[in-house]
């Protein structure tokens, strides 16, 4: 028996699942189907005799676009690891939560006892009970912090070090107090602190966007191709194809190798490589690239390069190399930890030696008091709590960050570069203008043209909607247009020459022509319309003091029109390498640059930018190379992103100030032996709760609401 994992990105709802289940269940040899709608995955357990490509085809025939996750034998080990990690953390979190409830109950008894008097015997029983409940938390739940601390010691102490120290020191001091029957216990602080930090970590882990890069590269291309052998067509896995083989690529199929065209001509959609939705016409012998789509009739091609040798893979490699070379910002929390820990340890030692001179009996307990009080609970919670809350808020707004570090980096961004097509504009082209000549009605022309275009395989025909007007004797001429009889009239839709327009007829955009009885009748302008709120979003970004710029692979006049509408400057006809150069010029000038893109052609730029954003409609590979992925088609999510990042920084600063002031007051007091233990415990609890509550405000922060042209700036809701 073997298990195969299919990723089916277009499996959106329960009825899709039901459809696939119904079909596959009836196949012989299929033993078990498991669905994971969250990951859009289908895990099939089947007998080895069932060929995987047959399963693929079955799912494809239902109209879905499945691709394999990793190799056949391996059932998506990357996602499995992520899930295992999450389950492991959840167990630790759950145990910490359950124990925390018990410890709190017992400790309330202890504090009540301190206030109203309690038998020494009962006090010790309660202390031992709290100790017992605390042990699973300290020995099991807090384990990730110890491991993280040990690991980070090699590279310089990170935030895990003070966390591990705080847990260990508070616990050991309490343990000592319990065993000797003297001094105060801090079990409740230990468990609460561990629980809150685990919670923040769990939220972080589950919100991060995980796409395995290598997998994403494979997913971007079809796994099964049609090999032409002795004039028969055969479906084979792409891995079995070698150079100089002949492949058949049907209409609408994606090409998965680099090759030369054998057929006379082809319409190829190179959007994935160039980012532009305009289709190119290729003649016999011209090069076709992996990742492009065949939008015309079926074609034959001769294979020139497969897998790693394709241009597609080369662009990906450039992106990977750039990404590896990129310096990540040091985390603020780690920087603070690096300064804070040595200071505290030094101060505790000074306290010890100081007291040795005055009263050596007090020295040890005073040094411990310094360590416990400074227990950097608030400090270590200050940043993760704010970041987690912001990640939750952004997730609801449809923005997913691969790492919360980018939230710290965003307020430093100075320039935003947009790829035009698919980012500022919608990824799909539509009809932007209908111009009629003579007395023809625009609606009528559009309806007739739509009806005619249904018979055309020309790429631009897809921009028209469907129509139910009945036509007679339809004739399609490849590369020219379509003609039909409508009542007494002969209507034609297609190129300028075919529709009796002057060939030199000047048009600003991609245009489809229409004629009635060989007289010019109408022209249809086709372009990618701007996204909703594109203008408002750009205005908000500019108001935040960001330099916004368009960097597009599209033609000069297309870019100029979009740039004019938005009031931006632009560079047109940029190759992937040009975008990368432009980006590096800015980075060399000490600018912090964000790049927003969607196509494979943006990959090098995305990888090289300080922060990169991939749009919802982007290819998986692009998403895997980007730092931030938009899971919404609202462009205004970018404005939200910047605003939430700014508010997050403010909350982090407030939290840090709060935590530092607490420490500045508490530590000297503890060193002088002025803080009674109950006050120390209360202080720790209050300072931690304070920073948590402050951070939680971020979850309620509202999003930008654009109502037509009016932009309402919003404020953070004050108060816990």
Partner 1 sequence: MESLFFLIPLSILLLALAAKIFVWAVEQDQFANLDQHGLDIFEEKIEKEHGEN
Q: Which residues bind partner 1 (CB under 8 A)?
A: 14-15, 17-18, 21-22, 25-26, 35-38, 83, 86-87, 90-91, 94-95, 98-99, 102, 105, 119, 122, 125, 129, 132-133, 136
Identify the helix (H) or strand (E) that includes residue 571: strand 569-571
Which tokens is 546 given? 């960001």
For the bound state, the minimum distance from the C-beta of residue 187 to partner 1, rounded and expressed in Å, comes to: 14
Q: Closer to partner 1 at the Cβ: 284 or 396?
A: 396
Structure tokens, 549: 């710029």
**C-beta of 17: minimal distance to partner 1 in Å?**
7
E strands, 155-240, are: 224-229, 232-237
DSSP structure class, residue 582: H
Instruction: List the one residue out of 60, 36, 34 whose CA is nearest residue 46.
Output: 34
Nearer to partner 1 (CB atom), residue 14 or residue 114: 14
Tell me the closest approach of the beta carbon of residue 54 to partner 1, in angstroms: 19
Angle between helices 677-696 and 187-207 (to 10 degrees): 20
DSSP annotation of 569 reads E
3-state secondary structure of 283: strand
Burial class (CB in 10 A: 0-12, 13-18, 19+), 10: exposed
Under 8 Å CB-to-CB from 449, ≥6 apart: which residues? 464, 493, 512, 514, 522, 524
Nearest of 703, 359, 319 to residue 537 by alpha carbon: 703
Between the two ends of the chain, the Cα-to-Cα distance in Å is 56
Please state the closest distance from residue 132 (CB atom) to partner 1, in A: 7
The torsion angles phi and psi of 434, rounded to 5 degrees, stand at -120, 120
The two tokens of residue 628 are 């931030």
Closest to partner 1 by CB, 25 or 653: 25
Indicate the angle between helix axes 534-543 and 637-671, nearest 10 degrees. Answer: 40
Mapping DSSP to helix (H, G, I), strand (E, B) and coil, where does residue 532 land? coil
Q: Which is nearer to partner 1, 134 or 586 (CB)?
A: 134
Place of tokens 């990730």: 144
> How far is it, in rounded angstroms, from Cα 699 to Cα 717?
10
Smallest separation (angstroms) from partner 1 to the CB of 616: 19
Smallest distance from partner 1 to CB 133, Å: 7
**DSSP one-letter code for 62:** T
- Quote the tokens at residue 574: 């940029």
Beta strand 415-418 with 547-551: parallel, antiparallel or unpaired? parallel
Nearer to partner 1, 99 or 320 (CB): 99
> CB 629 → partner 1: shortest distance, Å?
19
DSSP string, 361-404: HHHHHHHHHHHHHH--HHHHHHHHHHHHHHHHHHHHTTEEES-T
CB of 204 to partner 1, least distance (A): 16
Structure tokens at 220: 């971007």
- For residues 4 and 193, give the distance between their C-alpha atoms in angstroms, rounded to a whole number: 42
In the bound state with partner 1, the residue whose beta carbon lies nearer, of 202 and 364, is 202
Least Cβ distance, residue 63 to partner 1 (angstroms): 18
Give the pairing type, strands 299-305 and 30-36: unpaired
The one-character DSSP state at 35 is: E
Please say which residue, 89 or 550, places its beta carbon nearer to partner 1: 89
Minimum CB–partner distance for residue 86 and partner 1 (Å): 8
Mapping DSSP to helix (H, G, I), strand (E, B) and coil, where does residue 155 land? Answer: helix
Q: Coil, strand, or helix at residue 282?
A: strand
Cα maximum dimension of the chain: 114
Indicate the residue among 25 and 81 with the shorter CB distance to partner 1: 25
Residue 30 or residue 696: which is nearer to partner 1 going by CB?
30
CB of residue 39 vs partner 1: minimum separation in angstroms? 8
Nearer to partner 1, 15 or 439 (CB): 15
Find residue 547's DSSP bridge partners: 415
Minimal distance, residue 22 CB to partner 1, in Å: 5
The residue among 47 and 577 lying less far from partner 1, judged by its C-beta, is: 47
- The residue among 37 and 354 lying less far from partner 1, judged by its C-beta, is 37
Residue closer to partner 1 by CB (options 90, 260) is 90
Q: How far is the CB of 634 from partner 1 (least distance, A)?
A: 22
């Amino acid at each position: 028996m073997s298990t195969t994992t299919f990723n089916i990105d277009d499996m959106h709802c329960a009825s899709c699942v039901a459809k696939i289940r119904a079909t596959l269940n009836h196949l012989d040899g299929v033993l078990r189907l498991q669905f994971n709608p969250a990951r859009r995955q289908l895990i099939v357990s089947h007998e080895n005799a069932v060929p995987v490509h047959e399963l693929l085809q079955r799912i494809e025939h239902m109209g879905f676009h499945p691709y394999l996750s990793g190799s056949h034998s391996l059932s998506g080990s990357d996602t499995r690891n992520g899930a295992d990690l999450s389950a492991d953390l959840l167990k630790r979190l759950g145990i910490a939560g359950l124990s925390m409830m018990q410890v709190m109950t017992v400790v309330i008894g202890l504090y009540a006892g301190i206030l109203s008097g309690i038998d020494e015997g009962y006090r010790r029983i309660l202390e031992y009970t709290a100790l017992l409940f605390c042990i699973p938390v300290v020995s099991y739940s807090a384990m990730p912090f110890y491991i993280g601390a040990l690991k980070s010691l090699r590279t310089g102490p990170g935030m895990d070090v003070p966390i591990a120290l705080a847990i260990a020191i508070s616990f050991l001091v309490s343990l000592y107090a319990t065993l000797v029957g003297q001094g105060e216990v801090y079990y409740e602080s230990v468990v609460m602190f561990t629980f809150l930090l685990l919670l923040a970590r769990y939220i972080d882990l589950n919100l991060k966007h995980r796409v395995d890069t290598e997998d994403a590269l494979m997913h971007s291309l079809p796994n099964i191709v049609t090999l032409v052998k002795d004039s028969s067509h055969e479906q084979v896995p792409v891995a079995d194809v070698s150079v100089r083989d002949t492949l058949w690529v049907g209409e609408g199929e994606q090409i998965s190798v680099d090759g030369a065209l054998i057929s006379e001509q082809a319409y190829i959609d190179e959007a994935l490589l160039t980012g532009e939705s305009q289709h190119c016409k290729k003649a016999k012998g011209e090069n076709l690239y992996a990742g492009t789509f065949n939008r015309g009739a079926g074609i034959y091609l001769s294979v020139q390069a497969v897998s790693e040798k394709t241009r597609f893979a080369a662009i990906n490699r450039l992106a990977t190399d750039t990404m590896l070379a990129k310096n990540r910002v040091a985390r603020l929390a780690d920087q603070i930890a690096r300064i804070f820990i040595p200071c505290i340890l030094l101060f505790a030692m000074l306290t010890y030696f100081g007291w040795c001179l005055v009263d050596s009996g007090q020295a040890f307990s005073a040094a411990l008091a310094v360590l416990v009080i400074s227990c950097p609970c608030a400090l270590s919670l200050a940043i993760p709590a704010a970041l987690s809350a912001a990640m939750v808020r952004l997730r609801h707004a449809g923005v997913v960050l691969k790492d919360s570090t980018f939230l710290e980096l965003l307020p430093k961004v100075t320039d935003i570069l947009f790829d035009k097509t698919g980012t500022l504009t919608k990824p799909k082209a539509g009809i932007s203008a209908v111009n009629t000549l003579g007395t023809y009605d625009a609606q009528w022309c559009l309806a007739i043209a739509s009806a005619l275009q249904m018979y055309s395989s020309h790429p631009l025909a897809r921009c028209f909607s469907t129509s139910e007007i009945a036509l007679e004797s339809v004739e399609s001429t490849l590369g020219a247009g379509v003609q039909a009889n409508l009542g007494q009239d002969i209507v034609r839709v297609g190129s300028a020459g075919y529709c009796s327009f002057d060939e030199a007829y000047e048009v600003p955009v991609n245009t489809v022509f229409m004629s009635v009885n060989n007289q010019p009748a109408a022209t249809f302008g086709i372009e990618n319309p701007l996204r909703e709120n594109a203008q408002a979003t750009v205005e908000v970004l500019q108001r935040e003091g960001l330099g916004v710029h368009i960097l597009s692979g599209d033609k000069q006049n297309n870019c100029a029109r979009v740039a004019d509408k938005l009031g931006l400057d632009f560079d047109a006809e940029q190759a992937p390498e040009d975008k990368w150069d432009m980006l590096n010029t800015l980075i060399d000038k000490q600018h912090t640059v964000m790049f927003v893109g969607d196509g494979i052609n943006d990959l090098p730029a995305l990888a090289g930018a300080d922060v990169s954003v991939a749009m919802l409609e982007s290819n998986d590979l692009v998403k895997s190379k980007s730092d931030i992925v938009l899971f919404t088609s609202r462009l205004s999510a970018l404005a939200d992103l910047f605003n939430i990042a700014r508010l997050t920084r403010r909350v982090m600063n407030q939290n840090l100030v709060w935590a530092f002031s607490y420490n500045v007051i508490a530590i000297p007091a503890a060193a002088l032996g002025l803080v009674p233990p109950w006050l120390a415990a209360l202080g720790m609890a209050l300072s931690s709760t304070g920073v948590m509550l402050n951070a939680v405000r971020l979850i309620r922060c509202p999003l930008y609401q654009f109502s037509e042209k009016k932009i309402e700036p919003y404020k953070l809701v004050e108060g816990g």
